[in-house]
Chain A
Amino acid sequence: MSTSKESGKMKTIVFEVLRYDPEKGGTPHLQEFTVPLHKGMTVLDGLHWIKEHEDPTLTWRSSCRMGICGSCGMFINGLPRLACTNQITHLHSDRVVIKPLPNFDIIRDLVPDLESLFDRHRSVKPYLIRRDRIEQNSPTREYFQSSEELVNYIQFAYCIKCGLCLSACPTVATSEDYTGPQALTQGWRYLADTRDEGTEEHSEELYSKHGVYRCHFAGACSQVCPKGVDPAMAIQLAKQAAFLKSMGLCKDKPGAPVTPPIDNWVSEKEIPKPPEPTVARES
């Protein structure tokens, strides 16, 4: 605990955090905390400070503190953001107002119930579907894919399922049925993958009445996505593909083949040997 003499000198910042107790129910309310500020401090660091020094019951979800696990999504100063990748000083405000991600039920304090995200995600069958299940389950070789073909979907594969886009989307705000930017993007990620043969399976949800055509390009999803996934682009590309197909301007291609074994392949002679182990093996 910092003494009053110290905090008199130290720069501080006011945190306003939404509190909700599931045992009591009722309406959530904002609670204020004064937090000492230091250089490079993230919003997540501030929450940890409060939990350590002021109120151990304050609850949120976080894990990696480096923008990769997708668990610390919160509504921070009016926008959905990751608490761990946003520094307090970069918010340019003397107050940090933190609420749980909107469009998800609140479990407690800042913890949103992401079950609806995962249900939506499952609905597009977000995995590689091949006709030859035996080859897929016990592969003999890899499926052929060029690096140009990889670029068609790799950015969509960077999704960390944080739910920020679903919080920002105005269509999600009014419709629980809408498949939503996260899942639609994952559906398209597999349609755009040359190795995939499950066009029909993914399309069922993607082009259903809850699918891509309920997007009207408000653009908020791509604005808030912390991984550059750009859901708005994936959804428009999915619409474009369906349009071209309906006009007979493009056809489904067969799934990428299993690469054939390469004949007369000779191992390079100059492959260096690994260094000798520096620690003696246990016998």
Chain B
Amino acid sequence: MQHRYKNNLGLWGWLGGGRYGADRYAYALHRLSGLGILAYFLMHIFVTGTRVDGPEAWESAMHFFENPLFRLGEFLVFLAFLYHAVNGIRLVLVELGLLVGKPGLPSYPYSHSVIRQRPVLVVAMVITAVLVLFAGADFLFLTK
């Protein structure tokens, strides 16, 4: 009897970037941030839904979320949103085939689309970082 060994990487295979390029990490982070915002969005609907039960229910819910831990949580959701939105614009461009270059004659050393669009990934990350700094300043100094 011959046994095969199942060797599919599964969940770790998509989450772990390993020794692959930055784009594979961007991929995992895009999905995680998307799911994060989605989770927030669902909770948000539930929480704002308390308004239906009258002003007292709303006030007590708002009071519950004044805790600094939730403020930090909100900030993290905003970071996830910033990353997801900026990187999402890059993905739209790339997946419309706009930044990947043209097919050519295969001659060594090979170049490829992922390297060609890499500068756009860098620009997207710089934009995200700048926005995060602004958001951080706002979070630390401007809000109560």
A→B interface (CB under 8 Å) = 20, 22-25, 27-28, 77-79, 100-107, 112-113, 151-156, 158, 168, 170-174, 176, 192, 216-220, 222-225, 227-230, 232-234, 236-237, 239-241, 243
In the complex, which residue of chain A has the Cβ closest to the Cβ of B23? A219
The one of A107, A153, A171, A216 that contacts B91, using a Cβ cutoff of 8 Å: A216
Which 7 pairs from chain A and chain B are nearest by CB? A173-B13, A228-B110, A240-B97, A170-B14, A219-B23, A219-B114, A233-B113
Give the chain B neighbours of A219 by CB distance below 8 A: 20-21, 23-24, 27, 113-114
Given A103-B7, A105-B5, A230-B113, answer yes or no on A170-B24 (Cβ-Cβ < 8 Å).
yes
Give the chain A neighbours of B91 by CB distance below 8 A: 216-217
Encode contact with A along B106-126: 1 for CB under 8 Å, 0 otherwise.
101011111000000000000
How many whole Å from A230's CB to the nearest CB in chain B?
Answer: 4
**Is the Cβ of B4 less than 8 Å from the Cβ of A239?**
no
The CA-CA distance from A229 to B10 in the complex, in Å, is 25
In the complex, which residue of chain B has the Cβ closest to the Cβ of A229? B106
Interface of B is mostly: loop
**Is the Cβ of B18 less than 8 Å from the Cβ of A78?**
yes
**Is the Cβ of B97 less than 8 Å from the Cβ of A237?**
yes
How many whole Å from B70's CB to the nearest CB in chain A?
Answer: 31
The CA-CA distance from A251 to B110 in the complex, in Å, is 31
How many whole Å from B138's CB to the nearest CB in chain A?
Answer: 31
**Is the Cβ of B103 less than 8 Å from the Cβ of A155?**
yes
**Is the Cβ of A236 less than 8 Å from the Cβ of B8?**
no
Give the chain A neighbours of B112 by CB distance below 8 A: 222-223, 225, 228, 230, 232-233
Given A223-B112, A240-B96, answer yes or no on A217-B27 (Cβ-Cβ < 8 Å).
yes
Q: Is B1 an interface residue (CB 8 A)?
A: yes
Given A104-B7, A222-B113, A228-B110, answer yes or no on A22-B20 (Cβ-Cβ < 8 Å).
no
* CB neighbors of A among B1-57 (8 A): 1-15, 18-21, 23-24, 26-28, 30-31
How many whole Å from B97's CB to the nearest CB in chain A?
Answer: 3
Given A155-B105, A236-B97, A240-B97, answer yes or no on A223-B11 (Cβ-Cβ < 8 Å).
no
Given A240-B96, A243-B96, answer yes or no on A151-B4 (Cβ-Cβ < 8 Å).
no
**Is the Cβ of B24 less than 8 Å from the Cβ of A220?**
yes
**Is the Cβ of A218 less than 8 Å from the Cβ of B13?**
no
**Is the Cβ of A236 less than 8 Å from the Cβ of B100?**
yes
The CA-CA distance from A106 to B104 in the complex, in Å, is 36
Q: Name the residue among A158, A222, A227, A229 with the largest chain B CB count within 10 angstroms.
A: A222
The CA-CA distance from A66 to B18 in the complex, in Å, is 27
Q: Is B127 an interface residue (CB 8 A)?
A: no
**Is the Cβ of B104 less than 8 Å from the Cβ of A232?**
no
Give the chain A neighbours of B105 by CB distance below 8 A: 151, 154-155
**Is the Cβ of B5 less than 8 Å from the Cβ of A28?**
yes
- 18 residue pairs bridging A and B, Cβ less than 8 Å apart: A20-B5, A22-B5, A23-B2, A103-B8, A105-B5, A105-B7, A107-B4, A153-B103, A155-B103, A156-B103, A172-B13, A216-B27, A222-B113, A230-B103, A234-B103, A236-B94, A237-B97, A240-B98
**Is the Cβ of A23 less than 8 Å from the Cβ of B20?**
no
How many whole Å from B8's CB to the nearest CB in chain A?
Answer: 5
